[in-house]
Amino acid sequence: MNRFLIVISFYALSIVNYCAGKENDEQPLRLGLIGLDTSHVIAFTSRLNEVDSPNHVPGARVIAAFKGGSDDIKASRTRVEGYTKTLAEKYGVKIYDDISKLCKDVDAVLLTSLDGRPHLSQVRPVIQAKLPVFVDKPVAGSLKDAVEIFRLAKEANVPCFSSSSLRWYPGVVEIANADVGQLKSAISYGPAPAEPHHPDLFWYGIHPTESLFTVMGPGCESVTRTSTDDTVVVTGIWKDGKVGTLHGIASGRTGYKVTAFGTKAIAEQKSGGDYTPMLREIIKFFRTGKPPVSSDITLEIYAFMEAADESKRRGGLPVKISEVLKKAGLN
């Protein structure tokens, strides 16, 4: 009987230890924010830190932040203090004045600076600290800087990715997976207001561009742009003959939709989404180190937008994706 009790006790203790280990494995990751000048920092933190929220994303908490901010961009300059106050007072986030110090106290980083120009300098200490990092849109202020960010991360073997949240909008995912037969073309429209310190589409056109590539996949070879002050139309030719069109709304009423045209059917986006699905992917990425979007795809998306600017400079002539990537330093 005593031997029986010892065996039962051993198995009971093993189960307790296993459960404790599982619980320890699932302890929330400690996250740091870099750049508090975008509404994304509140949207992300509320979903991660508010366990009672219907949009709660488990697995991580924002505990640290670096203010950042850009004096020459009004949207940044006028919002950074308010968002900093909310994070500190409502969510108890500790504010750091040095990114390297922040990196010592977190498990992963969300680089959320509204301005893409400082992203390269801000990501360097994160890469040096060997922390996985999600770089919010725009990934950088230039295609050259975007190439360098991913080069540094790859060289240091640091997990890094960037994406627009629209890639995981249920409506976009539905169109990407729709049975339209052989996909022939797609049109994606959305807001595309420009900001003078960034390539035109980097600022906000990234969202409908990401939707377009989510449906079309990679493989764009050349880009042609037609534009006025109110509208930007970019046509991409894919290597297999598919045609992808971005319709950017620079002014006027805006909205998002992507439509796929195939040999069997036409599929039109019917629903939107929010940041929640993307945050789930980010937390999974932080735990596994496996980016849900490759750097190659992200760089092709930004090359598409950079080629659109170059086409504008050349009066609407076609521009090859390979040309702008080579110019940006990608061999």
What does the alpha-carbon distance between residue 23 and residue 80 come to, in Å, rounded to a whole number?
36
pTM of this structure: 0.91
242 in Cβ contact with 185 (< 8 Å): yes
Class of domain 166-274+292-327: alpha beta
Q: For 2-162, which CATH superfamily applies?
A: NAD(P)-binding Rossmann-like Domain (3.40.50.720)
Strands 319-320 and 160-161: unpaired
- How confident is the model at residue 88, as a pLDDT? 98
192 in Cβ contact with 248 (< 8 Å): yes
**For the residues of 25-66, what is the DSSP string, one character each?**
HTSPEEEEEE---STHHHHHHHHHH-TTSTT---SEEEEEEE
Render each residue's pLDDT in the chain as its tens digit; 331 residues.
344 333 334 334 443 343 434 434 579 999 999 999 999 999 999 999 999 999 999 999 999 999 999 999 999 999 999 999 999 999 999 999 999 999 999 999 999 999 999 999 999 999 999 999 999 999 999 999 999 999 999 999 999 999 999 999 999 999 999 999 999 999 999 999 999 999 999 999 999 999 999 999 999 999 999 999 999 999 999 999 999 999 999 999 999 999 999 999 999 999 999 999 999 999 999 999 999 999 999 999 999 999 999 999 999 999 999 999 999 999 7
Question: Tens of pLDDT along 168-195?
Answer: 999 999 999 999 999 999 999 999 999 9
Domain residue limits, the chain = 2-162, 166-274+292-327
